[in-house]
Amino acid sequence: MPWISLRIETDCQHADRLADAFIEHGALSASIEDADAGTPAEQPQFGEPGSPTTPGWARSRVIVLLDETADPDILLAICAPLAGLERTPPYCCETVAEQNWVQITQAQFEPIRISERLWIVPSWHEPPDPEAIALVLDPGMAFGTGSHPTTRLCLEWLERAVSPGVSVLDYGCGSGILAIAAARFGAAEVLGVDIDAQAVAVARSNAERNGVRAHFADSANTLQGQFDIVVANILSNPLKALAPALCAHVRPGGRLALSGILAEQTDELIAAYAPWLPLTVAAECEGWVCLSGIKDCA
């Protein structure tokens, strides 16, 4: 059964309400994108806490998927006033052939080679190298599939840092990928924490799927103890705020690794952690850095 794709030009003040109105009136889906994407007028959106940003795009495009029986003209005439628009905005529509969306989505995600002995493999693929460590991980709601440079940097660092029997804390665990990798590298005690309850649930499921022993908890709960290795792949602003807490969880002689840091943010992060632990650049990838250091035994 074919569908109708409706593309409507509007602005950031009305885009969300227009998309919501279409959903309320039976649209199969509705999304919003930058109408100037791919042009010099494109407006990137950043989500780092503390970053000044105006949500939405000055020229927005609402993309609505409708059942083939829907009348786009009538629906737009109903939804435009509900979104606060005084007149019907410009739009175009086209017929979309029926497709296997699951198959199309899965085809976009291939196994990712992190190193000679580590791969990230979606569940619908066979591991490319039977002799290597294969972390089974599907794209989902929680951050961390191995495709982002910051995740790759942390995985590469953990492969070098983890030795059999060590304890590891993954702060801001997301999908649990770093905690699971640490367990596969031989860590004896692994704890992952995250502020997002959904991420904690996803991480537990991923650990079970990979057959590893790792514990996951809400970071709002009291976190006690020290670890041989602490890794945090978050963003620079929360990392700065967490400096004393993260360093307190590194045992004397233990190691800390931070990522989610742009190269130009390196100096301010090193300065933020200097009172507790000296950091240096461990590696850099595509403008992102991983910082690491060893806590003084004194």
Binding site for S-adenosyl-L-methionine: what residues are annotated?
Answer: 151, 172, 194, 233
Chain-centroid distance, C-alpha 194: 13
Residues annotated within a binding site: 151, 172, 194, 233
CA nearest to 284, candidates 292, 275, 274, 276: 292
Q: What would the two tokens of residue 286 be?
A: 């595509």
Distances (CA, A) of 187 to 212, 213, 224: 10, 10, 18
Q: Answer yes or no: are the C-beta atoms of 255 and 244 closer than 8 Å.
A: no
Give the whole-angstrom CA distance, residue 295 versus residue 269. 16
Distances (CA, A) of 152 to 97, 207, 208: 37, 18, 22
